[in-house]
Amino acid sequence: MLSPKFAAGIVETTIGDRNALLSYGDGTCDRKATLIINGQTREIILR
């Protein structure tokens, strides 16, 4: 089974009063992404 690989881009969504943004970065294939939920930022590792 093939898994999608994301290297760059942004996904933004709003559910109710919560906003979330997932940034895959600048194109470097390092499995790192930035997740921002209601102004709080975390770096996450994609599997």
Position 3 scores a pLDDT of 61
Residue 1 confidence (pLDDT) above 60: no
Q: What is the pTM for the complete model shown?
A: 0.74
Q: What is the rounded average pLDDT of the residues 29-42?
A: 92
Span 6-12, average pLDDT: 86
Dist. CA 42–CA 47, nearest whole Å: 16
Angstrom distance (rounded) from CA 19 to CA 31: 23
Report the alpha-carbon distance of residue 8 to residue 27 in Å, rounded.
Answer: 5
- Averaged pLDDT score across all residues of the chain: 87
Could you tell me the residue ranges of all domains in the chain? 8-45
With bands split at pLDDT 50, 70 and 90, how would you rate the model's confidence at 29? confident
